[in-house]
Each structure stands twice: as structure tokens, then as C-alpha cells.
């Protein structure tokens, strides 16, 4: 009796089919090798293998006629069911079957009548000896014991509301310094969030020992004196002033001096007006106002090469007509700015 492979356990059936074909000594080695190859191609959904004879011959390295004889031997031995298709490639459909080994009912061991009589029944115990759940004695003991770990709270006379402890110092030192800095700084258009950012920057500078609070307060007062009465009013917010004044310890890329804040317009009003007409007010504020003015030889000293190049390209002809030169010298620029700050103070 022959049967196809079991679908519910297809892998185990395939391995058992391969083992039976390999152990069959009536088959040639090539036939057993082809059976092993077809075992890998068996698919549970297709219930078989679809492979051409030419492909099997090329894979194993034998002639096509040898493959045909081997397949015919597997079919004759009861291991395959072949569906021959018409076509150039001879792609046949092969279905693995068991011959005789799948009949498990014939191979089962029958139980004799004597053994069946000597077996003990599951229900051999009488119901009288069993203790029902409802007949168990009641011990009057609850399944759990209630324990009150915390007795009910009774208010005491001494449990009056205690006043909160007063702060020994209503304001810390950093708060006092920040209020002094905020009072010394000129009026500006900073928002509440901007003032919070400025306070965080102020605290970071003081905590990092990059500058003393007194130095920051004095610099803010000097900045307020410089901005008093100047038009147009371009007073910076405290946060931007702290960042651009470089209290945080940043250094310029082309010198060893800290960056200096530039708050006032260019020193020479005539040169500034001519440059403003040539390149506009935004470019003048960006490139000319931060520059220093050396009146002895009529030289505009820029801090970096970028500002100097922008002035030459945008207002070079106007400045040349006024006999003004533009150079880039960071050290000279820092010296001139420091001297101007001393004179202003």
C-alpha cells in the first residue's frame, strides 16, 4: 500500500522518505542521489517537486538517459509518482509516496484479551470512600487574618500647623548681582524669555569664574552711558550683549585678544554717511560701525579680513575719493577701541 506524505508533518515525512530511499539496497547510488535531490525540492503546498531532467543531470553530473532510468527505477520501486509533461525541457512533476511503510495500522501491536482484563479501571475506587468538598469539616477559621498595622489616627492637641521656616537670606548673592546688573543695563526691548536667557548666561559667566559680577555691572553701566542719546537706538538685549562682548572667554580667530563689543556708530560721521549711501544701512552697521578709526592717517581699521574686503568691494570708490584707506589689523583694532573706551569713560 502506498500513500503520499503527511501534510501536517511534512518535514518529518520527507526525512523518513529520504531515509527509506537511502537504505534501499535495490536502488543504484545514482538513483539514491537523485532521491536526495528531489527531497530538497518537495514542497508542502505543491505536494511535490517540479524539476526538469536536464536540470537534475546538470546538478548531479550524469547523462540525461541515466536520470531517466533512475527516475523510472524510483517509480517502479514505489517511491515516486511522476506526471510526464510535454515540452522541450521535460519538466515533470514528482510526488513522493510511501510504499508499505505508511500503513501504521498493520504494524501496530494488538493487545491480548488477558492483558485487557487485568488492567485496572480508573473508576475502581468507590464513591463512598471519597470526601466531597461540601463534606469537609468547617474549622471556623477565616482564610486570611486581618491585621491592622496602623491604628486609626486621632488628632492630638500638639498637632497644630507649624509655620514654614523662614529663609535666612531672602536673596542669594547671585540674585543681588543680577538685579544690580539689570538696573545698570540700559532700557531695551528684551522679552521675558530673553531676560531669562540673559540671567542664565550671567550666572554661567559668574559661576565659571570668567568674569566677576562687579566687572559685568561696571561694563553694563559703561554701555548705558555710551548708548545714552545715540540715534538710531540699536540697544542690544542683555543676552546678545553678554554673548558678543565675549565675557564667556571666546577668542577671535586672528588674534589673542578677546572680542570687544562695538556699540556706537563709526567715529567719523561724514565717512559713515557716504558709506551708507553707497552700500546701505545694514551693510554699514555690519562692516563699518565695528571698525576703528585712525584719524592721523585716515585709515579704517577692521578687525577681520571679511569686513575689510566687504568695504573695499561695496564702498571702495567712495572711500578712495575721500582719501580713506581700509586695512585689517586685529591688534591695532583692539588698541584703538580700548583707547576710545578709555576716553569715553
- Domain regions of the chain by residue span: 2-102, 173-244, 269-344
Report which of residues 80 and 304 the model is more confident about: 304
- Expressed in angstroms, the distance from the first to the final Cα of the chain is 116
Say which residue the cell 568695504 belongs to: 311
Higher-confidence residue of 177 and 105: namely 177
Q: What is residue 224's predicted lDDT score, i.e. its pLDDT? A: 82
Is 100's pLDDT higher than 60?
A: no
- Residue 313 confidence (pLDDT): 92
pLDDT at residue number 320 = 92
- Residues 218-268 have pLDDT tens digits of 888 888 888 776 766 677 788 888 877 654 444 333 334 444 443 457 889
Let me know how long the chain is. Answer: 345
- 102 pLDDT band (50/70/90 cuts)? very low
Full DSSP string of 6-35: PSTTHHHHHHHHHHHHHH-TTS-HHHHHHH
327 contacts 308 by C-beta, under 8 angstroms: yes
CA nearest 177: which of 222, 207, 140? Answer: 207
- Region 260-283: what's the mean pLDDT? 79
- Which of these ranges, 18-22, 173-177, 249-253, has the smallest mean pLDDT? 249-253
Task: Provide the percentage of residues in the chain whose pLDDT is more than 90.
Answer: 13
**How far is the C-alpha of 227 from the C-alpha of 268, rounded, in Å?**
17
Confidence of residue 118 (pLDDT cuts 50, 70, 90): low
Give the sign of the dihedral formed by CA 185, CA 189, CA 192, CA 198: negative
Other beta carbons less than 10 A from residue 193's beta carbon = 9
* 2-102 under CATH 1.10.10.10, yes or no: yes
Backbone angles phi and psi of 268, in degrees to 5 = -95, 115
More confident residue, 288 or 4: 288
Q: pTM value?
A: 0.29
Amino acid at each position: 500500500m502506498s500513500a503520499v506524505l503527511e501534510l501536517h508533518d511534512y518535514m518529518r515525512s520527507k526525512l523518513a522518505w529520504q531515509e527509506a530511499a537511502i537504505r534501499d539496497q535495490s536502488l543504484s547510488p545514482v538513483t539514491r542521489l537523485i532521491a536526495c535531490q528531489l527531497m530538497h525540492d518537495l514542497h508542502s503546498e505543491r505536494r511535490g517537486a517540479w524539476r526538469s531532467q536536464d536540470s537534475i543531470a546538470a546538478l548531479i553530473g550524469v547523462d540525461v538517459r541515466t536520470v531517466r532510468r533512475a527516475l523510472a527505477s524510483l517509480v517502479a520501486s514505489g517511491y515516486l509518482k511522476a506526471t510526464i509533461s510535454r515540452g522541450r525541457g521535460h519538466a515533470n512533476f514528482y510526488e513522493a509516496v510511501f510504499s508499505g511503510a505508511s500503513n501504521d495500522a498493520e504494524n501496530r501491536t494488538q493487545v491480548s484479551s488477558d492483558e485487557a482484563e487485568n488492567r485496572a479501571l480508573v473508576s475502581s475506587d468507590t464513591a463512598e470512600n471519597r470526601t466531597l468538598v461540601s463534606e469537609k469539616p468547617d474549622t471556623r477559621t477565616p482564610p486570611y487574618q486581618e491585621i491592622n498595622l496602623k491604628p486609626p489616627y486621632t488628632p492630638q492637641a500638639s498637632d497644630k500647623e507649624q509655620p514654614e521656616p523662614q529663609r535666612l537670606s531672602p536673596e542669594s548673592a547671585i540674585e543681588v548681582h543680577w538685579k544690580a546688573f539689570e538696573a545698570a543695563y540700559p532700557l531695551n526691548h528684551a522679552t521675558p524669555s530673553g531676560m531669562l536667557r540673559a540671567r542664565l548666561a550671567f550666572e554661567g559667566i559668574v559661576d565659571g569664574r570668567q568674569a566677576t559680577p562687579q566687572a559685568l555691572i561696571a561694563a553694563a553701566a559703561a554701555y548705558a552711558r555710551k548708548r545714552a542719546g545715540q540715534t538710531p537706538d540699536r540697544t542690544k538685549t542683555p543676552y546678545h550683549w553678554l554673548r558678543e562682548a565675549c565675557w564667556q572667554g571666546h577668542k577671535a580667530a586672528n588674534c589673542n585678544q578677546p572680542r570687544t563689543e562695538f556699540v556706537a556708530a563709526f567715529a567719523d560721521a561724514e565717512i559713515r554717511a557716504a558709506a551708507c549711501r553707497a552700500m546701505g544701512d545694514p551693510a554699514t552697521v555690519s562692516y563699518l560701525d565695528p571698525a576703528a578709526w585712525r584719524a592721523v592717517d585716515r585709515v579704517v581699521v577692521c578687525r577681520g579680513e571679511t569686513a575689510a574686503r566687504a568695504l573695499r568691494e561695496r564702498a571702495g570708490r567712495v572711500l578712495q575719493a575721500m582719501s580713506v584707506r581700509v586695512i585689517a589689523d586685529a591688534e591695532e583694532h583692539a588698541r584703538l577701541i580700548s583707547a576710545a573706551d578709555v576716553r569715553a569713560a
